[in-house]
Structure 1
């Protein structure tokens, strides 16, 4: 056994794994009776199919309980021929907030990695003791002013160390004068507020403290305050022009108050004034169009949302701020009122929030995740500046230096976050640090990766937390590594997960060199994000690591107490040479046993798994984990085992045993808002014996 591989297999080591779930590794060829064979399925379809199979069988990190399922919500192409397939988890039909996962698969139908958000197993009831009306009242109290309840209350499971049944309510309004779209999670048992998440990212000030448009395209002349004379893509229709991008779906710029794009009889926009809103739209549209192009040419991303779409921008917000609200960006003015908050790095930052939200795992929750979100905005702002090379805004790693928002210079300094009072180094306090300050460690990491600790060429030096010296690899390479790491993101994203993801990314993007990989690692070390158990190594492309697949046939078994069943456990060499694989099973219900014949195979061989139950085996459905413990790497798959009729769904609390009552089979009682039927009775049963009330009635659902 190689213990460092037990939790999360390295990217290169899992080549070909996905079809390990019992799928054929040959591309599917559909044939008609007499016609020629159809073309092989396209790479994305093969990758998606393999990922779906991995999610269905609970491959490696995709373990799930018997009442849990994964639903695919997106597929994003990445570099090196990989596809990142995102999933959301449900429990007894309820959405699991924080139970998401990502499967990395290649275009040949092989799973290369599995990643899931951190959560304990879910075994809760789904009956709410608190009414939806009470949950809504509680949610409304979280904002100073409420305009509307936009969604909910909806019952969900809030994942984490102790999963809980909760109502999710989306409340819109203002909080201390600032706009808010607040997701409030109210405990469905106690009525307490468990968590909140605001879609509005008020980045600028806080940091200092669908259909395609078919109208004709035009190339407008813009006079920006920050960017000077530029060209912007505008729309022409009936002799009128508008600040709506005809080529980049969803991208436009308009007035914050009217929510309308600017229009005119000519295609000339702005007068170069810092207070003119049309000028502000020139800067905002030019920056967002430039960011879109950078994403495509440098990173291979299709639009802001990764699916060929973007979001509108609005200028004229009456606040010393700029923000992303989950579906659009809005820009205010500097404190002295002389400038709109639309320099390229601020616009790029706000749309960076959109990228974070539309990559796997969404916007996430918590301060550490929020700090990584803020840092992501800063990174995309810098990438946009360096891509543009606009002579009116020399590219740099200072954030918001041109707007001078509150009269104290840049909002943040990526080379040295401490200059703005933010931490340069990761520490245990980061999860409790305000999100804009918590951006410091990853911003610092990115600068060191791109430029190094003493870059010269007009770039400032950057201190390291371990007194190391680092040579940067350039911002374009750094951006590719960061973005492809972001495609492995889950809702529980933290710095250590980001470290592993970017190491995997560097290894995949630059397979014939360890320079990039080693620099990624050194930069994380230099900001005090320490090594993670099981993280990948490079070693300058050593011989292919030995790897194998693991599959079950069948992958689900149903039997009555006292019966037994057999399952074939197959292995196959997917990389390198064969290795010894020790087989074991865990998660069996009480009174059941598992045996393998043989219990150890050479990869490429198979074994017979026998599941045996007794008359006293606990009835219900269990997810039995089958582990293949290899010499070089470990893999797991899940067997769905149902004993008896399954009993009540997991999480449904059966009635307590009442020894004074003389219940007989067929009696129906109400408990926890649902009907239960008695099918077994014994005066000698212990209190709480689940066999006393084993069958869940169809009269209700918990």
Structure 2
């Protein structure tokens, strides 16, 4: 019978880590009498559930779990993320999430499946040969990491070397994780940290720094205020309150100067591009807090740097920073609000349980997550010069064909509207279509009356939307149950439960969530909630 294992991208939360190999001892009477904060109670309950192998959390005798994150979601719930080790080696692939409430009750568990792990831990292949194999996967190589011996989980777990190769493919930057069989030297899997905006189709401030609200002359949203840093008589485009957020020239330093006025409003000016980037990510950060209760991009108060002036007709997230290029006609930087929020949305996906994952279906959900965060940020900003919509990159007009994706009707860009068995083999940007379509139907419905476009359904049904803010909460709280093998069926199950947890006094949200999944042909999943009964 399959058991579950996992790793996540939540390294930033490593301070919460603890390894569990035996069930937790019962609390003493004295400790039971001590008051406990909701997050501590939830963490303790989640740890005990993992230690006892509750639900899907069973493990082999040579395995242990380690908590790598605890995220507060909606409805008073907390989501604990765990990774697995095997004989001390990190297990890559499959992850576990335990949902608990602030009273210390375990509410749910989810995990990615892996066959039982029973592998030797002595490598036959020399590490240097694994490096050579990994290096050959990119035509241009800038650096190669020291090989790490890991267990690659899945249908047939194997001992492997993980080697990270940084460089470029033929068309884009790359930070490629290559998994080389430690016995045979064969490539078992490859996962790229770089997530581009479009397919191929055509630091902390110094101690004396203070917050200085700058004036930005942006290209996309006009004159705006951006949070910058003042140190002595110098100002910089570094956010003083949002750790890690800054903007500068590609390959250069953060923009700085003697005054706190930035950009000239031109599409070709890189400093102007940074105005758009800073304003957009600062707006997204506020949206994450106000709508979702999330603390920053990684969930623990941290963001990541951005740069403009990339020579590509694209933009990308590389696992720890964002990079923005320009339109094909070179008249605009690819720094509109939906593009910026999309790239940092990849960061949110990476820093929720399950990490960035791998495979085209997971990758499509990752790309869709970026698009959804773009739409959510536009809706939160409600800017008159860049009005909220569900078209992706319309302002940038990246290759001269208008938006690159249409969430209300993905087929307008040649992408699938509906889920099918072909999605796992569909290019990731195209595979974003079904979930984008689902989110639009949930937020706006199939026949909106607020000026948004009509949206076709795959089953010819009519769907009534619940509004973008409610849709955002349901989507995000579903995402907090993500595993490294995340797919559309798992997302359906997770968001249906999220609708119940977030709106226990109403069935409208649950019914709309279910109707929207049905409308894009994602079938029902074993164990999903089938109905909603309002609490009285």
| TM-score grouping bracket, smaller chain normalisation | over 0.9
3-state SS of 2:477 partner: helix
Task: State the alpha-carbon separation in 2 of the partners of residues 175 and 328 from structure 1.
Answer: 18
Alignment check: 8 A CA contact 2:204 2:240 kept: no
Q: Give the structure 2 partner of residue 73 of structure 1.
A: 68
Q: Give the structure 1 partner of residue 17 of structure 2.
A: none
**TM-score in terms of structure 2 length:** 0.93
Q: Give the structure 2 partner of residue 415 of structure 1.
A: 408
Q: Give the structure 2 partner of residue 54 of structure 1.
A: 49
Q: Give the structure 2 partner of residue 86 of structure 1.
A: 81
Alignment check: 8 A CA contact 2:441 2:455 kept: yes
2:385 paired with 1:392: yes
Q: Give the structure 1 partner of residue 221 of structure 2.
A: 227
Structure 1 residue 542: deviation in Å?
A: 7.0
Alignment check: 8 A CA contact 2:24 2:51 kept: no
Q: Give the structure 2 partner of residue 121 of structure 1.
A: 116
Q: Give the structure 1 partner of residue 183 of structure 2.
A: 189
Task: State the alpha-carbon separation in 1 of the partners of residues 24 and 355 from structure 2.
Answer: 31
With over 3 angstroms needed to count, the CA separation of the structure-2 counterparts of 1:523 and 1:275, relative to structure 1, is: same
Task: State the alpha-carbon separation in 2 of the partners of residues 489 and 422 from structure 1.
Answer: 24
Task: State the alpha-carbon separation in 2 of the partners of residues 478 and 30 from structure 1.
Answer: 40
Task: State the alpha-carbon separation in 1 of the partners of residues 368 and 114 from structure 2.
Answer: 24
Task: State the alpha-carbon separation in 1 of the partners of residues 525 and 171 from structure 2.
Answer: 42
3-state SS of 1:152 partner: coil
Structure 1 residue 211: deviation in Å?
A: 5.1
Q: Give the structure 1 partner of residue 309 of structure 2.
A: 316
Task: State the alpha-carbon separation in 2 of the partners of residues 199 and 27 from structure 1.
Answer: 45
**TM-score in terms of structure 1 length:** 0.72
Task: State the alpha-carbon separation in 1 of the partners of residues 103 and 220 from structure 2.
Answer: 47
Within the candidate set 427, 430, 439, 2:423 is matched to 430
Structure 1 residue 30: deviation in Å?
A: 4.6
Structure 1 residue 108: deviation in Å?
A: 1.0
2:399 paired with 1:406: yes
Alignment check: 8 A CA contact 1:349 1:381 kept: yes
Higher share of residues assigned strand: 1
2:239 paired with 1:250: no
Q: Give the structure 2 partner of residue 535 of structure 1.
A: 528
Q: Give the structure 2 partner of residue 44 of structure 1.
A: 39
Structure 1 residue 100: deviation in Å?
A: 1.6
Q: Give the structure 2 partner of residue 96 of structure 1.
A: 91
Query: What is the 5 A alignment of 1:98-497?
Result: 98-149=93-144, 151-206=145-200, 209=202, 214=207, 215-258=209-252, 260-497=253-490
Alignment check: 8 A CA contact 1:51 1:111 kept: yes
Structure 1 residue 23: deviation in Å?
A: 6.8
With over 3 angstroms needed to count, the CA separation of the structure-2 counterparts of 1:405 and 1:498, relative to structure 1, is: same
After superposition, the C-alpha distances for 1:17-36 in whole angstroms (9 at most, x for unaligned) are xxxx7876x897559xxxxx
Task: State the alpha-carbon separation in 2 of the partners of residues 235 and 539 from structure 1.
Answer: 49
After superposition, the C-alpha distances for 1:293-328 in whole angstroms (9 at most, x for unaligned) are 000001100011100110011001011010000000
3-state SS of 1:361 partner: coil
Q: Give the structure 2 partner of residue 564 of structure 1.
A: none
Alignment check: 8 A CA contact 2:463 2:515 kept: yes
3-state SS of 1:88 partner: strand
With over 3 angstroms needed to count, the CA separation of the structure-2 counterparts of 1:463 and 1:78, relative to structure 1, is: same
Long gaps (5+) in structure 2: 5-22
Q: Give the structure 1 partner of residue 497 of structure 2.
A: 504
Task: State the alpha-carbon separation in 2 of the partners of residues 81 and 537 from structure 1.
Answer: 22
Q: Give the structure 1 partner of residue 10 of structure 2.
A: none
Task: State the alpha-carbon separation in 1 of the partners of residues 316 and 409 from structure 2.
Answer: 24
Long gaps (5+) in structure 1: 1-6, 8-20, 32-36, 544-702
Structure 1 residue 489: deviation in Å?
A: 0.4
After superposition, the C-alpha distances for 1:240-288 in whole angstroms (9 at most, x for unaligned) are 1110000111111111121x11111111100000000100000000000
After superposition, the C-alpha distances for 1:590-628 in whole angstroms (9 at most, x for unaligned) are xxxxxxxxxxxxxxxxxxxxxxxxxxxxxxxxxxxxxxx
| 4+ runs deviating over 4 angstroms | 21-24, 26-31, 208-214
Alignment check: 8 A CA contact 2:500 2:532 kept: no
With over 3 angstroms needed to count, the CA separation of the structure-2 counterparts of 1:27 and 1:463, relative to structure 1, is: farther
Larger radius of gyration: 1
Structure 1 residue 127: deviation in Å?
A: 2.2
Deviates more, 1:469-478 or 1:124-133: 124-133
Structure 1 residue 456: deviation in Å?
A: 2.5
Task: State the alpha-carbon separation in 1 of the partners of residues 484 and 159 from structure 2.
Answer: 18
Alignment check: 8 A CA contact 1:145 1:174 kept: yes
Alignment check: 8 A CA contact 1:27 1:108 kept: no
